[in-house]
């Protein structure tokens, strides 16, 4: 019988990582499959910068993908590390940074493993549009909290779970408006704001702000506001 201890399974779903790998070559096409990420990027960047003043801060972007947010934060003067477990998007991110001249350190690492190695090493942790793709989001939230220094910021964004979010985020976005490829999201993995807030508090974080992100199909514009029914963002702080 096998007695040797096996390494713990990473908190990752190989099918999800492969899905993002298959989209990697179109990551930076603003009209391509990642269009929503390009469109929401200035909104979330300004919000993060307003709260956490990015210039000069050590930032880790967890689940950075092709680096849309990571690069933008670096361009605001942050010292950014981007981590992801999907190889192809990371390669695209590295190539894009070479072209754009942005300085970002990209690593193929899980949040959990970087947290074990470098606890409290970052002033700001961002983990956007990733939690709804992992098997155990509370483990990712705990790792993000561990990565932040006392007094540091942790930002999450994900998708709410209710009939409206099913209609808008899956039927509307993937089938009617075709904003995203079919199969991008799985309803059961969506997370209610109160659930994410509880995960954050259990991980030792204070929830500072919960903000909604809405899409108007007529103007084809995203906006931040009070409506958290579908997409939303959470800002947390690690107590001093
Ligand atoms: N955060 C980026 C990309 C979102 S797409 C942005 O908002 O612009 C979701 C990303 O999460 C993909 O790049 C995918 O590879 C990554 N991901 C999924 N599961 C992961 C895991 N367990 N650990 C790290 N990254 C993961």
C-alpha 127 to ligand 1 mean position (Å): 8
**Among candidate residues 220, 219, 215, 217, the one with its CA nearest the CA of residue 231:** 215
Q: What pLDDT sits at residue 4?
A: 59
DSSP string, 119-160: TT-EEEEEEES-GGGSS-HHHHHHHHHHHEEEEEEEEEEEE-
Q: What pLDDT sits at residue 131?
A: 98
C-alpha 84 to ligand 1 mean position (Å): 6
Per the CB < 8 A criterion, the answer to whether 131 and 143 are in contact is no
Per the CB < 8 A criterion, the answer to whether 120 and 51 are in contact is no
C-alpha 178 to ligand 1 mean position (Å): 20
Work out which ligand 1 atom sits closest to the CA atom of 44.
Answer: 7
Q: What pLDDT sits at residue 217?
A: 87
pLDDT digits 0-9 by tens, 191-202: 999 999 999 999
* Positions of the chain with pLDDT under 50: 1-2
Query: 18 by DSSP, 3-state: which?
Result: helix
Strand order in the sheet with 122-128: 104-108, 79-84, 58-62, 122-128, 148-159, 231-237, 206-216, 221-225
Q: Which of 72, 83, 130 to mutate to test the pocket of ligand 1 (most atoms within 8 A of CB)?
A: 130
Q: What is the residue with the minimal CA distance to atom 12 of ligand 1?
A: 65
Q: What is the residue with the minimal CA distance to atom 11 of ligand 1?
A: 63
CA distance 192 to 90: 29
* Domains in the chain: ranges and CATH: 14-158+188-210+232-237 (3.40.50.150)
Work out which ligand 1 atom sits closest to the CA atom of 41.
Answer: 8
pTM of the model: 0.96
Q: Which of 63, 106, 144, 154 to mutate to test the pocket of ligand 1 (most atoms within 8 A of CB)?
A: 63
C-alpha 4 to ligand 1 mean position (Å): 31
Q: What pLDDT sits at residue 7?
A: 58
């Amino acid at each position: 019988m096998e007695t040797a201890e096996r390494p713990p399974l990473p908190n990752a779903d190989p099918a999800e990582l492969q899905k993002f790998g298959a989209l990697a070559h179109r990551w930076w096409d603003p009209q391509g499959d990642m269009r929503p990420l390009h469109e929401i990027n200035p909104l979330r960047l300004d919000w993060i910068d307003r709260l956490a003043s990015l210039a000069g801060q050590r930032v880790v972007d967890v689940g950075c993908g092709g680096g849309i947010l990571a690069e933008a934060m670096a361009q605001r003067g942050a010292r950014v590390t981007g981590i992801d477990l999907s190889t192809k998007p990371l390669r695209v991110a590295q190539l894009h940074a070479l072209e754009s001249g942005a300085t970002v350190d990209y690593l193929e690492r899980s949040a959990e493993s970087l947290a074990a190695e470098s606890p409290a090493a970052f002033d700001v942790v961002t983990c956007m549009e990733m939690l709804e793709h992992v098997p155990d989001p509370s483990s990712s939230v705990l790792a993000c909290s561990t990565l932040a220094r006392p007094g540091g910021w942790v930002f999450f964004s994900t998708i709410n779970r209710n009939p409206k979010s099913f209609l808008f985020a899956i039927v509307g976005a993937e089938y009617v408006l075709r904003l995203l490829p079919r199969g991008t999201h799985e309803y059961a993995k969506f997370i209610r704001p109160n659930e994410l807030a509880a995960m954050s508090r259990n991980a030792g974080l204070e929830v500072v702000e919960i903000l909604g992100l809405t899409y108007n199909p007529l103007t084809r514009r995203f906006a931040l506001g009070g409506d958290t029914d579908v997409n939303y963002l959470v800002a947390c702080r690690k107590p001093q």
